[in-house]
Amino acid sequence: MFFLDFSLENLTGVNATFAIRWEYAQPSLPYTVGSILTPGVHTMNRKKTAKNAKKRSATARVVRVAAGKGPAAKPQSDRGRIVTLAAEPGAVDLDLTETVVMVVDMQNDFGSKGGMFDRAGFDISIVQRAIPPTAKVLTAARRAGIIIVYLKMGFRPDLSDIGAPGSPNRAHLHHVGVGTPMCAPNGTEGRILVRNTWNTEIVNELQPEASDIVLYKNHYSGFFQTDLDKRLRRLGTRSIIFTGCTTSVCVESTLRDAMFRDYSPILLADCSGEVVGCGLPRSNHEASVLLIKERFGWVSTSDEFLRALEVGAKADS
């Protein structure tokens, strides 16, 4: 392992730093493991990978480069409070000024009695189990000054945004009864997955506060046909803590799109739930957790997140 520092300022006209780590597998191994480490993003400490690499006697190198400043990157002197979050496959150093907590689709249609999932016969207790740990995460995050972003699946009253005729989005939504009128448990007139009704309100235990960001989406991913990416970049976001439902549909879709846009996604597994495939020998939730920690980001828990913030607060006092 060695470090190489050099500057690309003459080529780019701007100056920032980042590091690239490549761990080369032995010929007997089918793939090469790599990660990009950026001070403005945070240092991803893949301890388990490094340990395994030593056991394999694989060679590794780290290159530190002065290169073009990425969107919302900060000078080293301007970085905020750093906390270390225990996660798989390795611990993550989070700059809290560049981190948001995202709550995906924790709304009445998915998590409340009388909502769409409940009416369709799904076991909503799977979603409801994620509510108490998520509430603790939101309380701690707000106390630490971390921005909260809520995503809600909801459509215009005329359903003009459900997709073109014959599109998969439109077909699946009609199958679940999008737009169907109903009497909501609170006595109001509801409509399944329609904006500004009881159905698309966040569950009572996780209600947004005035300082939180709340966005509607009309596809599984919160990045599709929304200004989520622009908002996150204006905030200087680098890391996204994911909570919500369902794990393998809207959460994973949004998480993958976040990774494709070079955000660093971390799923808090106990703050998420999946009703589809919950009775399989390996549930869809478990499959998503495995894929995320192996390919798309990191997986941790609410307890580890709370512990990281507590340790960070003590270090600052």
By annotation, the residues acting in catalysis are: 105, 217, 250
Tell whether omega for the bond before 265 is within 30 degrees of 0, i.e. cis.
Answer: no
For tokens 């761990």, name the residue.
23
Both tokens of 102, joined, read: 């995202």
Which helix (H) or strand (E) is 17 found in, with range?
Answer: strand 16-23
CA distance 240 to 262: 11
CA distance 16 to 223: 27
Please list the residues that pair with 182 across neighbouring strands.
190
Both tokens of 287, joined, read: 């499959």
Both tokens of 88, joined, read: 């798989």
User: Angle 131-143/302-316 helices, nearest 10 degrees?
Assistant: 20
Sheet holding 239-245, edge to edge: 213-217, 147-153, 99-104, 239-245, 264-273, 298-300
